[in-house]
Amino acid sequence: MVAKRACLANSGILSDQPPPSFASILQLKWHIGTILVLLINILVLFRFWINLLLAFWEGAGFCLGFVPSEGWIETYDYRGVLIMEEQLKELTEKVAALESSSGVTNTMFAETYYYLTIALMVVIHAGFLAYEMGASRHKNVLASGIKNILAFAFVIPAFYFIGWWVYWAFPTGISLSAGPNGISGAAYANEIALPWVEYMGPNIADNASGVFWGAFALFAATTASIFSGAVIERIQVVGFLILAIVLGAVAWVVAAAWGWHSDGWLVQNWGYHDFGAAGVVHMVAGFFALGVLINLGPRIGRFNADGTANAMGAHNLPLTLVGLMMIIVGFWGFLMACVIVPGEAWSWFGDKWATIYGTPVTLSALAFNILMGFAGGIIGAWLVTRDPFWMMSGALAGIISCASGLDLWWPPLALAIGFVGGAALKPAADFLEKRGIDDAVGAVTVHGTIGIWGVMAVGIFAIGYPALGGEGAPTVSFIGQLVGVIVMFLLGFVPGYVISLVLKGMGLLRVGEEAELAGLDMTKVPVSAYPEGINTSTAPAE
Amino acid sequence: MGSSFNNWDAVEGAYYMGAGTSWEGIWSLVALAICIIALIAGSRHELEAYKKVAKK
């Protein structure tokens, strides 16, 4: 027993000391509990402490020039200032990149905008094609189509070689001097618009010239198509093409340079305002046609010996009506192309659309007034005629009536102006007919006469508006618009009359009497329009 | 004729075939000639067609 007790005493299990008291045990437990609480605290709040430590580390690092995520950076100065400078530099670079990107986007938008106007304006020509073929008698259907197609084909290169240069050279008149805006005159035109300068072909630094030229080329082709309808069924094709080239590459272009250019003398001196080209396109083309019609004469059988007229109805009125609607669709592109896109080096404004004169406009203004004029024109023609041909012509007349002031009209006024244009159509056409003028599709009336109304409407209802942007601009006036009307009439009528007179003398104006009576398709078109007949169809030429 | 550059990165301005050379003028004349010859030929064909109809 003694040995066993000694053994236990040596191993420490059995002590000679008295057993621990209750208080000492309680103290030991307290220490253990404190340690456990601390451990739990550390474990539970570990993430908090780590974050706190990292935050301190980061803050201290900035002060010491050490960025934990980037390491020590080369410094010479107070670290916070350096970091800010670097951030500013980085921000500046980002802003420059954004500006560059934004500039490219704007340039691409501007280029695409005008590109699409060209496509839309081609629809005008699809419409004129259908319109004229439908308005022809069935013996002349394809000859009328050929004439229209070729007008497009010859006016485009003519405008490339001549017209574009004329537009930029002539604004100040025949002096060919530079205008106040410095974007006109022979020297300027030689620099940008001669056929062999670098801007007149693919150029990686020039996104504008091609689409601008294209839009203007389509305006030019439109003048030829307007004229084309008036002279169907008796004009020689080549004689017609020579006239179309004179109109599309010279006559209307001089009008545009004078009245549709910010340096144009009509604008600078008279405050002439013609936003949608009622004068420079429609009037010039319409009265050019009148000048030609006087020398060309009416179709055989159109008038009786006593001067009364015989109807020569369209062989396919539905085709004519659809053609007219297509012309109107295309005119949305035409009028869209009359707007200057903002934000480019050549733009008037950095932040808003402008007219060709540098005055503000919106596409919404066009939407309001084109549609209201369109509606007014139909209603006016319907009330007067009840005839679908004149109603659709009235739609076009309504738009032309509002064209000069599309940027300015209050929409209900646009409807009223369009209404007057639509209602005036038939009486104006009858006036010409009574004087022995055979205008087969009413082109002189729709474009010429109604064009006068469109230009003068601005001189009646929009007096006082500044005609140009900036200080001291001339203002729109009745007299200024009247001067514009006289100039546009002369620029259309005189060359039309003179050139057609010369062609008549050369035997190049009118087809032979036998050919006219037999039909032009049978005479010179190697295919038949209706080989299975809608009535009887002519045989193709050999 | 043809191109004077062999790397598109070097292109900064006009890059059409014959840019800055006499080919611009030559092709302009060719295009004009096409139009004028077509008009003359078209006129001849047309006048002959009218004469043919008149003879019948």
Residue A104: its pLDDT value, please?
A: 84
Distance set, CA A339 to CA A254, A265, A275, A361, A406 (Å): 20, 20, 9, 8, 11
The residues that bridge with A66 in the sheet, in sequence order, are A72
| Chain A partners within 8 Å of B31 (Cβ) | 157, 161
CA distance A235 to chain B (A): 11
Q: What is the pLDDT of residue A8?
A: 43
pLDDT of res. A437: 96
User: In this predicted structure, what is the pLDDT of residue A481?
Assistant: 98
What does the block give as tokens for A362? Answer: 């919106």
CA distance to partner chain B, nearest, from residue A133 (Å): 19
| Closest to A381 measured CA to CA, from A393, A373, A369, A371 | A393
Note the ipTM here.
Answer: 0.94
Least CA distance to B20: which residue of chain A?
A: A198
Successive 10-residue mean pLDDT values, chain A, 542 residues: 45 51 68 79 71 64 50 52 83 89 88 97 97 94 96 97 97 94 95 93 94 97 96 97 98 98 96 97 98 97 93 90 95 96 92 96 97 98 95 96 97 98 96 95 96 98 95 95 98 98 97 94 92 66 66
Integer angstrom CA distances of residue A382 from A119, A194, A358, A422, A424: 31, 48, 37, 8, 11
Q: What is the pLDDT of residue A1?
A: 41
- Contacting residues of B for A518, CB less than 8 Å apart: 53
CB-defined contacts A:B, below 8 A? 75
- Going from the C-alpha of A51 to that of each of A39, A45, A66, A163, B18, the distances in angstroms are 18, 10, 18, 75, 69
Mean pLDDT for B39-43 is: 96
Question: Does B49 sit within 8 Å of A541, measured CB to CB?
Answer: yes
Shortest CA gap B12–chain A (Å): 6
Q: What pLDDT does A22 receive?
A: 64
Helix boundaries (H) for A386-449: 388-403, 411-434, 443
H helices, E strands: number in chain A: 21, 2
What letter does residue A204 receive in the DSSP assignment? T
Query: CB–CB of A157 and B31 under 8 A?
Result: yes
Would you call A196 and B28 a contact, using CB atoms and an 8 Å cutoff? yes
Q: Over the stretch B10-37, which tens digit does the pLDDT of each residue have?
A: 888 999 988 888 889 999 999 999 999 9
Tell me the chain A residues in contact with residue B54 when contact means C-beta distances shorter than 8 Å: 512-515
| Option in B16, B32, B39 nearest A161 (CB) | B32
Distance separating alpha carbons of residues A200 and A432, to the nearest angstrom: 43
Contact list in A for residue B11 (CB cut-off 8 A) is 204
